[in-house]
Structure 1
Amino acid sequence: AWVTVSQSCEIEDLLRDLAQKLFSEIRRKVPEGLESMHSDKLKMIIKELLERRRYLVVFDDMWHMHEWEAVKYALPKNNCGSRIMITTRKSDLAFISSSIESKGKVYNLQPLKEDEARELFCRKTFQAISGVLATKDKHRIDEWSMICRCLGSEIQVNSKLDNLKTVLCLSFNDLPYYLKYCFLYLSMFPEDYQIQRMRLIRLWIAEGFIEAKDGKTVEDVAEDYLKELLNRNLLQVAERTSDGRVKTLRIHDLLREIIILKSKDQNFATIVKEQNVVSPEKLRRLALHGTLPNPNGQQQRSVSQLRSLLMFGVSEILSLGKLFPGGFKLLGVLDYQDSPLKKFPVAVNDLYHLTYLSLKNTQI
């Protein structure tokens, strides 16, 4: 039997679905009153049905450990060569459920070989994206360039890709509240950027995303948050140190597009790639990618609420006073890392709320 586990699954619904599929597989009539049976009765029926049979049950996309705890007692160990398979996005759930049960094994899905990946893309994935491409004029190079640059906006508005968006959003929506801000923060980093682990942890702490816990430093708690995002496969390890510790991380392009949309919807952060970009009325966090905003433009009136400023690939540096003439007295995070800064920014002396300043790899 193949049972798909929904994100907001009720245990009795899960057991009822399993029972119905088992009766269907063995071509027996479903007992009367199954729809109103409580969980203990459902477990008993399933166990009696499978007691002397060799069975394979697949629980697809399981989200929570309590779901497995509830259904495992309905599945008898009958020494008939039966097997139970669980698919999950969460590494910790896979390891815990397999270690609790005897002879359990965890299989980590490995990337396809290049030729196999290309075949799958052409055969399956292109069917979805072709719906987007089919609407474009083949003679308009600018439209195809836009697709190349802005797949994220196409995901937002094109119904052909709604399923893809929904699947990715499920993983975000399942995050506990304390991880959502940490994950949204990744939207500020450029595409394909390798994020240094300690830089990310220090930024999270400076932003106030990390809650202190008894017996742990905030750094330890931040490490736990990072491990949880890795366990949920929302982050990927890009590079490790010689002793196996995580050194740098990256986020998949499609997931990044999703959190950029989420970040924009919640006015969590603003990314500037062009000088005259139109920004929200109140900027809270600002990431500059490769360019500086026009100091005479709209930013003048919108940075009074600015809390964080990060710069990536900026080739020239203006003083903060010239960059934001309207003032930025609430700034708490200022990250100049890897920028061509030659003099210490004197405006920092007036930033009384500043808790994080990075001048790493500058020319100071």
Structure 2
Amino acid sequence: MSLSVSVTMGVMRPLLGKLAALAGGEYSKLKGVKKQASFLEKELSAMNAALEKMELMDELDPVARDWRDHVREMSYDMENCIDDFVHQFGGGNAKLGFMKKTARSLKMLGQRHRIADRMEELKTLALEANERRIRYKIDEFNPNSSSVAIDPRMSAIYTKAADLVGTDGPKKELVNLLTSTAEKELKVVSIVGFGGLGKTTLAKQVYDEIRGQFDHTAFVSVSQKPNMTGLLYRIQLKLGMNRSSRVCEVEDITDDLRNYLTHKRYLIIVDDLWDQSAWNTISRAFPESANGSRVIITTRVESVASAACCSRPEFIYRMKPLNKQDSKKLFFGRVYGSEDDHQFEEITAEILKKCGELPLAIITIASLLASRPEKLRDEWESIRNSLGTHFAVNPTVEGVKNILNLSYIHLPLHLRACFLHLGLYPEDREIERDDLVRQWLAEGLVSKLHGQDSEVVAKSYFNDLINRSLIQPGCNKDGELVSCRVHDMMLDLILSKCEEHNFLRVECSPEEMARDHGRKYKVRRISMNLGNGGVADEATSRIIPSSVSQVRSLALFGESKYMPPLLHFKHLKVFLFKSLGGE
């Protein structure tokens, strides 16, 4: 049976494969194993179709959602039980003597009974779940079986968006603000505006335009929950400073930066700044010596923009949406690959209005329509009707998330778990395609299509996510896209879906990890960003091992004073480690 891998079913396909192996492989010779495995395989296969249908529904009633969550957690527990079984009985040692063989057999007999009892419990749970399944109609789903290549229009569309955001006026105005006077004092300029307007794009264009006029330059992103030590280390790295071998506090690093920059002319971009306290810390690293240095910050928060510029309104640039003409150029360029090809003009105008002329929203919806094999009027009308009417009048973060969510709703089932797996990475990370491919394969999130190599299929998934603008192109190597980035507003959507489906959790302290012990459902994937975390106390250290025993993917970003021993992660399939200051 060919199964697509959706979020809820991220564990179902590998589980069914393992059950089939137990029923037909060498383990079937053990008493009762074949019968139990065959029974569970049939029961779970029967649940599969209902799960697939539910994945296609926008809304689930509480009873259906509870059933889905119950089956998901039960499937995880079943797979863990099978992994324990295979680990315990994965082969003996033919060179053992009679006494040692006898002792080993008696030990294994006890273990076998314990696992058999657990399998019997899971069998009962499966029976109960399948009895409840009669409440839902079954609808078969067949995943797309063709390989996907990168749409050649994608690289062009982001270049086009950048050109439209920075066309003459905005970029020229900022460049003049930064360079037109002979002012030698440190000048801080803020770019402020709603998420998705293109603040980072504009800042990057200005940075590329004037960086040659400065001795030292750096472009760093902050994010909502910044790891200040890692952020300051990244600034050091971009400036070409040697990192100290000793463990440094934030104050030490800011002092080092300040001393290094005191007699230099520098340009630094601080992207995606969220609160004034973070700016207060970062700004201490920037000496105000009269060398003509410049700092640009981007933020969504007006008060942060004002504070960074010392309440000088002339140093604040407020982003504006695209005009109607530029919005159309961007939209039609993505859908058709040409600004001259127009269809459904009236519907398009309504869609663009509902997108608030935000470049991010326009590209996302245009990519959704471009992914359709045929451009049908009723599909365009359906997308238009799905977009809310209030966003154009009063843009909100939730409104943008609803627009982006439309692409998630239309995402094929086999891509959903892979898409959510990106939530392991912090904001503003360059994510290597091959790293993602290995992670998806290790977790069993990739379907085999007509005998194709699994790695080829996984790369096809990556390409499909790029084409749908759910992830943005990163670096090219030898004409091939080898990395991607996730827009911070798209990451917000990913993490909200991860919370809804108990797919993964982001932990920022040992105490947060300990609290997972009391959650209704076990944590299966953890992204740890503990660079600012302290040492776990004794009580916390005792609780954490039981809260992480079921974890199958662990991502560690930064260097923490606390790290639970990997021995506790008995079902771990993916371990990702990125050091502090690394991209």
TM-score by length of structure 2 reads 0.32
Q: Which structure's relative contact order is higher, taking Cα pairs within 8 Å and 6+ residues apart?
A: 2
From the two aligned structures, give the one with the greater helix fraction: 2
Say which one has the larger Rg: 2
